[in-house]
Homo-oligomer: A and B are copies of this chain.
């Protein structure tokens, strides 16, 4: 009990330091949340009212595309424009060992002490998609800390990019020459989520062809929004094209703000997040239910032996949930539960 009081007081102190812009407190709070400890909920509740100002840019592309270097340089450029920046690098992790790959973490170190840039490397921890729940929470923490821009760098082909599209305001897709036709073809599936396209390593063989291919794909891809994604060239290592990229990011931000799209996008995002949180809570209850229910193992045994089918079983055990929602619908609609 005394321990809990102490923990509570420590957390309050930490949040106080955080609100006074202590980078040390920021790092500690991120670690708390990344570890998914019991303080997470309290932290998120406490900082929520401070969020909503930071602009989230997702930077994604295949492994070896030079994402870290480009992210780093864009961050430096934003700093020059007197904007504050946080970087989250999402590392591919083995879902089995939980050990993060250290490459990006190490490569990122050299700007972590730059004024205004805070860098955090995160493991994916086997979440579905490279962008975990913790990543979303850390964007919020950096936002509440007052970062103008939060750059989220994710590695991956396919799914990660879809996940990043859900949390970022601007998505930058990076392609590089020499990945073979099939990889480029695969990219076709994710053309719609990119707002800005960059051919990095533009000094290499095949860059011109890739540029033209992407140009054609962009011309052919149908879009739900009216934004025509600009296609840029860059050589991240020399810094070529970085300034242009930063400018285009700022232009896209401006465009979203002026058309009221940003407000709408963010509301939709909050909606999805709330639904996700509700599902997560209910799942928690069901997991508890299973845990307290000693015969679950027996049921699994019966299903394994084909004495029972899983579909009927699931209907059976979730049916009371349906009953509950139906019975309580009136109350839920206008009642004391905040609806």
Q: How many copies make up the complex?
A: 2
In the complex, A227 has a CB within 8 A of chain B: no
**Beta-carbon contact of A339 and B295 below 8 Å:** yes
Measured CA separation A333–B297 after assembly (Å):
12
Tell me the minimal C-beta distance from A191 to chain B in angstroms.
8
In the complex, A267 has a CB within 8 A of chain B: yes
A7-15, A19-27, A44-52, A74-82 - interface stretch: A44-52
**Beta-carbon contact of A159 and B162 below 8 Å:** no
* Selected contact of A97 from candidates B45, B222, B274, B315, CB within 8 Å: B222
**Beta-carbon contact of B267 and A186 below 8 Å:** no
**Beta-carbon contact of B300 and A64 below 8 Å:** no
Interface flags for A48-62 (1: CB within 8 Å of B; 0: not) read 110110000000001
In the complex, A35 has a CB within 8 A of chain B: no
In the complex, A37 has a CB within 8 A of chain B: no
* Selected contact of A275 from candidates B159, B286, B339, CB within 8 Å: B286
A233-241, A252-260, A302-310 - interface stretch: A302-310
In the complex, A182 has a CB within 8 A of chain B: yes
In the complex, A322 has a CB within 8 A of chain B: yes
What B residues does A313 contact at CB under 8 A? 274, 338
Given contacts A159-B156, A273-B310, A283-B282, contact A96 B192 (CB under 8 A): yes
Measured CA separation A278–B95 after assembly (Å):
23
- Interface size class of chain A, counting residues whose CB lies under 8 Å from the partner chain: 35 or more
* Selected contact of A159 from candidates B44, B129, B329, CB within 8 Å: B129
Given contacts A44-B309, A285-B318, A311-B48, contact A63 B339 (CB under 8 A): no
Tell me the minimal C-beta distance from A139 to chain B in angstroms.
14
Main secondary structure, interface of A, reads helix
In the complex, A266 has a CB within 8 A of chain B: yes
Given contacts A224-B96, A285-B321, contact A294 B333 (CB under 8 A): yes
Measured CA separation A48–B185 after assembly (Å):
37
Which of A130, A180, A182, A319 has the most C-beta atoms of chain B within 10 angstroms of its own C-beta? A182
What B residues does A289 contact at CB under 8 A? 278, 325, 329, 332
**Beta-carbon contact of B159 and A45 below 8 Å:** no
* Selected contact of A282 from candidates B101, B282, B306, CB within 8 Å: B282
What B residues does A222 contact at CB under 8 A? 97
Measured CA separation A190–B188 after assembly (Å):
25
**Beta-carbon contact of A321 and B324 below 8 Å:** yes
**Beta-carbon contact of A311 and B101 below 8 Å:** no
**Beta-carbon contact of A189 and B277 below 8 Å:** no
What B residues does A113 contact at CB under 8 A? none
Question: A94-B192, A278-B290 known; 16 other A-B pairs, CB under 8 Å?
Answer: A45-B312, A49-B309, A62-B183, A63-B180, A63-B186, A64-B182, A64-B183, A97-B192, A101-B186, A101-B188, A270-B303, A271-B300, A273-B310, A279-B282, A279-B283, A281-B314
